[in-house]
Amino acid sequence: MADHQEASVTLPSEPASVPVARRYVADLLTDWGLPAGTDTAETVRLVVSELTTNAVLHTFGRSPTFTVDIALDFDERLRIGVTDSHPRWPKRLPAAVQQDNGRGMVIIRSLAAECGGQLSVTPKPDGGKTVWITLPWAAAA
C-alpha cells in the first residue's frame, strides 16, 4: 500500500446520489485492502449513507452538488469527508423534536468513537462545510 492514497467524487444533491456515493466508497476501500462485508466496511457504508443523505436533505437546495473525499494517510488514518456549499452546520436536534430524523450525527459520532475515531466539521471558503470522519486504518483493515 502506498503512503498516501486519496480519491473524491462529486455528485448531484439528489436522493439517487446516496447509493452511488456509498458504492463508490465501498469499492474504493475494497481496492485499498478493506474486505467487503466486515463490520468496519459496513460501518463506513452507514457513515457515508448518513453524511450524504444529510447533504441532500438538509441543504434545502442551496448546494447543487456534494463531494465525498476519501484519504488514507501515511499515519494510517482513514478520512472520509462530505462537503456541501450550505452554510448551516449539522446539529443534533433536541429530544422533543427527534421523531423520524435528527439522530444521524449522534449515530455517526458514536460509530466513529467505537472504532477509535472522531467526527469534525471544517468550514469552506465558499461558506459551506466538510463533515469529516477520521478512523484508524488498523481498525478498518
Q: Output the DSSP codes for 44-101.
A: HHHHHHHHHHHHHHSSTTS-SEEEEEEEE-TTSEEEEEEEES--PPP-PPPTTT-SSS
Task: Check: CB of residue 2 under 8 Å from CB of residue 45.
Answer: no
> Mean pLDDT lowest for which of 6-10, 54-58, 127-131?
54-58
Expressed in angstroms, the distance from the first to the final Cα of the chain is 12
- What's the pLDDT at 62? 81
pTM, rounded to two decimals: 0.86
Q: What is the pLDDT of residues 63-122, one digit of tens each?
A: 899 999 999 887 788 999 999 998 888 766 555 555 556 667 888 888 888 888 899 999
More confident residue, 100 or 60: 60
Output the domain CATH number for residue 119: 3.30.565.10
Neighbours of 45 (CB within 10 A): 18
Domain span at residue 80 reads 5-140
Q: How many domains does the chain have?
A: 1
- What does pLDDT average to over the chain? 85
